[in-house]
Amino acid sequence: MITQDAINGLVCVFDLSKIRHGIWHAIIRQLFPHLKQGQSLYVIVHHNPRPMKSQLTATFASEVVWNCLYYGPDIWRARINRETME
């Protein structure tokens, strides 16, 4: 699902809650570099996405802005935004 956010541009929504975490980690790592600055991924996952946050931050440093919007225990929701590089 893709929606338009009036403030932050394009937002891609992915419900990854039925996919094994090793697979959705790879999906997010492959999708993130294709986002333009100001675009976001909104993900729904079945476990705490903290390891994914650490992986993206290690790879993309200051380009990643991560906001956890809902904290489990069964479902987590996070918005991953690509910021402008400085």
Residues 53, 54, 55, 61: what is their CA dihedral angle, to the nearest 10 degrees? 90
pLDDT bracket for residue 2 (50, 70, 90):
very low
pTM above 0.85, yes or no: no
Q: What is the pLDDT of residues 8-64, one digit of tens each?
A: 566 778 888 888 767 888 888 888 998 888 888 888 888 888 888 999 999 988 899
Query: Can you give the pLDDT at residue 6?
Result: 46
| Domains of the chain, residue spans | 2-82
**Is 2-82 a domain of CATH 3.30.110.40?**
yes
